[in-house]
Structure 1
Amino acid sequence: MTTSTKTRPNTDSRNLYSGPGMVATGEATALLRTETTPPIRVFGTESIRETFDDLCLQQAVNSRLAPGVTDLVLNPDAHCGYGAPVGCVMVSPTHIYPGPVGVDIKCSMSLLQLDLPAEAIEDRKVRRALISAICQRTPTGAGKGQRSVTKARHVNRTLGKQLVTEGASDDVCHALGIPTSWSHRCEDSYHVGHDDTQLALENRLDTILSHRHMSNFSDKMQQLGSYGGGNHFGECEVVEVGDNDRAREVAQTFGLRDGNVAFLSHCGSRGFGHNLASGQFRTLQDKFDRWGIPLPAGDRQLVYAPLGTDEANDYLDDMALGANFATVNHLLINALVLEAFQEVIPGTRGNLVYFISHNIARKEIVDNQPAWVHRKGATRAMPGGHHSLANTPFAKSGHPILLPGNPRDGSAVMVADEGASASCYSVNHGAGRTLGRRHAKRVLDQATVDSEFDSNDILSNCRKYPIDEAPAAYKDFNEVLRSVKSAGLASEVARLKARFVIKDASKADD
């Protein structure tokens, strides 16, 4: 990722991949060699591996050869990003890299299970009323916040400072009307500073609030409880639990209800996280320039900081602040969605299934030593019995993995298998793009996209569905899932079938 959302990856021919091709090692596994390191592990069937273009492969090699990196994995959804590919996992016990986290710190997925049978939303008028009720509470659009809708929660500066330093604490949840029990259904309900204290975050926040790029802190806090734009969405689903004993047993542990309505959300840290990450990129890039430090592969998006330095500490604190915002943002969105359902269908009850990130660096134990596992467009996948799940509701089963596909083909809830150790306990974060946004707008037909939604009886808040977010802009989701299953990384627990979608209507209706 970069300091500007308008910057594009470097496609200079000198940076394009010219090394040896991948060597298949199984139906959905392969190795990508580098000149000086053990090979990169690749997961994907042959047809999926064909979607990895040269720039994606070169970025993978560049990232593997970067200082301090001890492992790199390419998932089935991999495609070129900024510095590191989207859909990769990068491990380092000695360095922290902002690029494989990106500017949308802790972009995540969450799933709310409702007690409504599918028949309760069969009527299109009911779904239209639900869309309206949700959009009155959860704004969409890059710059939109609480002031743009009538029934949002108000977040003042004081509460904003509390939530970015505490995450989903009981006090923060009470203040926002979020059930406190939901914090136990989070991958991480809160993040602490570089020294494992909250005080480090409080001190860091005081410092950055004096910076010019964070002079709009209060405005950014007004974005809490909103989706934003791009590929972020809210989607009403019907749950279809797999027809096998394991799927049914795990679904019960997760709290999934076959044939009932659920709500899937995708968003992150909004403008606050973008400001933090952009500031970090500028600071590190300036220091690399000033000190004459060689950039990995000459790529400014692969700047880094050795652990223990002031630069690394500042980045880890900023990442934690952004991650805490993203956590509370998701939990608030789910509380607002439940409130909207209760307005339209009184008596509706709901509970959070899980909240899990796919843009974050986490300190984990890798090969018996602590390391920072950077997941860029990748999601954690810990199987039952993994030490990190002790004392959680998922200690025996493994935690839920939330994988968005597309409205036409559905999304999936999976659970990790023992084979996930081969992928640094990670899987893909979704389908992964196969067409760039500009390319999609050039080659896809709006009428065809909209007719697909009509034929599948999927409603949207957009007059025209965003064509750069059409299902055809993404990889074949069923083949992506087949890759994950065939590689022994995870098993499918349930499929989620879309009934309506909330997207950024401002761009879609231009």
Structure 2
Amino acid sequence: MATRKLSGKDLRKLGFPEGRAIGEAIKAMDEHYKGKSILHKKAMLKKVVENPGLYLKHEAWGPVAMALIIKTEHNETLALREKRIPYHIYGADGIEQGAINQMEIAMKLPVTKYGALMPDAHQGYGLPIGGVLATENAVIPYGVGVDIGCRMCMTMYDIPLAFVHQNTDELKDMLMENTKFGQAVFKRPKDHEVLDRGLFNEINILKSLKDTAWKQIGSSGGGNHFVEFGITEIHSEINEFNLPVGKYLSVLSHSGSRGLGANIARHYTKLAMDMTKLPGEAKHLAWLDLDTEAGQEYWQAMNLAGDYASACHHQIHDRLAAALGEQPLALIENHHNFAWKERDADGNEIIVHRKGATPAGEGVLGIIPGSMTSPGFIVKGKGNVDSINSASHGAGRVLSRTKAKQTLSKKEVKKHIKKAGVTLIGSGLDEAPQVYKNIHEVMAKQTDLIDVLGTFEPKVVRMCGDERFGEVD
């Protein structure tokens, strides 16, 4: 005999407040307590509503407990500072006003300590792309971004450069066979130790994402993500790898944490916005206190997503190394869309969010890409305190995706790509080279932040989209 379902009215009589907690409780009963008696359900619900803190890690009642705590403890809207904290802008003349407005708001948060805006900056959600924000004991999910741990990864090979020009079709085939983009995944994904992490069984949101992470590992996202063959020229010996000056066939990839990172970002952004009420203009900058369980959960999940993104890149490069029949001389990688625990000049711990910004601490290696027809750069950080040890993560957009599709001509874009000597697989008008700032101008505005050790010239590029060679949709 089927048991009667408890209603919102029943839950309110047990002491549940109006709002999300009731919906979470009904969902928990439907998923975990079917067939249980009304008395059993009521007894369980009464325990949870009276002591939610005891059930935060419970598989069924964790979301209910969190909703109850948020409702009772975080219901007031916090005021922003009247005056923003001063911050440095690099290349202000090339940055749209919308990005600067977002940074101005971020610098008024009560938890903000320092900030900086990189020369590739453009408007995003919450913190602008190219924004660097240091906070005190607080992490902002939208300050990290949706594609958690998105990164650049380069491998270099001791292969004659003529191979690139003489074997273009073969290189295209290698990219087609060994890379996947967007919704496409490998039929037989490769295993990786990151998928064995205990966090997948310890944090509720991660339990539901492990299958997706397994299916997507080794693949790349859509949008501006790419894998490409090209030629790296080292101008200054990279001592870390004993890599001498010269030219090398290279593979460069750009991608992030796929569905794993996106779902972590959505879940904890919503949680942060529930827990930290901010005025409307700042609502996407809601933070999680690192002294709370929610803050610690996000921090662990964010780091897992970053490690997963790295694993995806390593598998991409392993597949292509096998296709080339060579082992790389060196691998360089760096990431953005992340938060780091660092120290300020006074030795105090700060949480540094780099949303579309590259770590550039003293001696730190990184890669700053241009577009599919302009060079990328291998760089070494100078450790500039004013930039919070950061640099740009790329050229930065000058056209939104919508504007690009409205204003660019497929014919002209294809002509531009051909003239640059680049072979393109996939992509669309929203990722045409013309949507990006001039990378040389961007690099010129951050000479105080990084030294350039080498350049990368793209030759065969694959991005998400139509798989016919050289098509631009």
After TM superposition, the score normalised by the length of structure 1 is 0.72
- Conserved 8 A contact 1:165-1:324: no
Query: 291, 307, 327: which is aligned to 2:310?
Result: 327
Matched position secondary structure for 2:101: helix
Counterpart in the other structure of 1:502: 462
Query: 344, 354, 372: which is aligned to 1:375?
Result: 354
Counterpart in the other structure of 1:359: 337
Counterpart mapping for 1:90-109 below 5 A: 90-109=133-152
Query: 7, 29, 43: which is aligned to 2:90?
Result: 43
Verify: 1:350 aligned to 2:328, yes or no.
yes
Verify: 1:81 aligned to 2:45, yes or no.
no
- The aligned amino acid for 1:303 is A
- The aligned amino acid for 1:132 is D
Distance 2:201 2:341 in 1: 21
- CA displacement at 1:272 relative to structure 2: 1.2
Distance 1:153 1:257 in 2: 37
Verify: 1:424 aligned to 2:388, yes or no.
yes
Distance 1:422 1:253 in 2: 29
- Conserved 8 A contact 2:175-2:227: no
Counterpart in the other structure of 1:436: 400
Cα gap change, 1:136/1:60 in structure 2, threshold over 3 Å: closer, same or farther?
same
Counterpart in the other structure of 1:469: 431
Query: 402, 413, 422: which is aligned to 2:378?
Result: 413
- CA displacement at 1:238 relative to structure 2: 0.7
Query: 444, 449, 452: which is aligned to 1:482?
Result: 444
Verify: 1:235 aligned to 2:241, yes or no.
no
Counterpart mapping for 1:173-212 below 5 A: 201=199, 204-205=202-203, 207-209=204-206
Larger relative contact order (C-alpha < 8 A, sep ≥ 6)? Answer: 1
Distance 2:414 2:161 in 1: 23
- The aligned amino acid for 2:458 is A
Cα gap change, 1:105/1:474 in structure 2, threshold over 3 Å: closer, same or farther?
same
Distance 1:509 1:493 in 2: 33
Q: CA RMSD in A?
A: 2.1
**Deviation digits for residues 99-122 of structure 1, max 9, x if unmatched?**
111111100001101111211111
Distance 2:248 2:279 in 1: 49
Cα gap change, 1:492/1:503 in structure 2, threshold over 3 Å: closer, same or farther?
same
Counterpart in the other structure of 1:146: 186
Distance 2:205 2:428 in 1: 36
Structure label with greater radius of gyration:
2
- Conserved 8 A contact 1:251-1:493: no
- The aligned amino acid for 1:332 is Q
- The aligned amino acid for 1:329 is C
Distance 2:394 2:170 in 1: 29
- CA displacement at 1:54 relative to structure 2: 2.3
Cα gap change, 1:252/1:375 in structure 2, threshold over 3 Å: closer, same or farther?
closer
Structure 1: gaps (5+ residues): 1-33, 167-198, 343-347, 384-397
Counterpart in the other structure of 1:30: none
Q: Which moved more, 1:303-312 or 1:106-115?
A: 303-312
- Conserved 8 A contact 1:69-1:91: yes
- The aligned amino acid for 1:490 is I
Verify: 1:127 aligned to 2:158, yes or no.
no
- CA displacement at 1:411 relative to structure 2: 0.7
**Deviation digits for residues 39-72 of structure 1, max 9, x if unmatched?**
111112xxxx233222211100111111211011
- Conserved 8 A contact 1:134-1:336: no
**Deviation digits for residues 138-179 of structure 1, max 9, x if unmatched?**
2112x22112xxxx6434xxx5xx41465xxxxxxxxxxxxx
Structure 2: gaps (5+ residues): 1-80
Query: 175, 178, 194: which is aligned to 1:137?
Result: 178
Cα gap change, 1:417/1:59 in structure 2, threshold over 3 Å: closer, same or farther?
same
- The aligned amino acid for 1:261 is L
**Deviation digits for residues 201-254 of structure 1, max 9, x if unmatched?**
35534x3355xxx2x531331111111210000121111233xxxx2x337746
- CA displacement at 1:505 relative to structure 2: 2.4
Q: Which moved more, 1:499-508 or 1:453-462?
A: 499-508
Verify: 1:491 aligned to 2:451, yes or no.
yes
Cα gap change, 1:256/1:446 in structure 2, threshold over 3 Å: closer, same or farther?
farther
Cα gap change, 1:282/1:87 in structure 2, threshold over 3 Å: closer, same or farther?
same
- CA displacement at 1:333 relative to structure 2: 1.0
Distance 2:177 2:145 in 1: 30
- Conserved 8 A contact 2:171-2:460: no
- CA displacement at 1:312 relative to structure 2: 0.6
- Conserved 8 A contact 1:94-1:371: yes
**Deviation digits for residues 347-391 of structure 1, max 9, x if unmatched?**
x331442111011101111231111111100011122xxxxxxxx
Distance 2:442 2:432 in 1: 17
- Conserved 8 A contact 2:368-2:393: yes
Q: Give % identity.
A: 28
Counterpart in the other structure of 1:6: none
Distance 2:201 2:210 in 1: 16
Query: 71, 77, 80: which is aligned to 2:114?
Result: 71
Distance 2:381 2:206 in 1: 40
Distance 1:41 1:256 in 2: 35
Query: 163, 185, 192: which is aligned to 2:194?
Result: 163
- Conserved 8 A contact 1:154-1:222: no
Counterpart in the other structure of 2:76: none
Matched position secondary structure for 2:121: strand
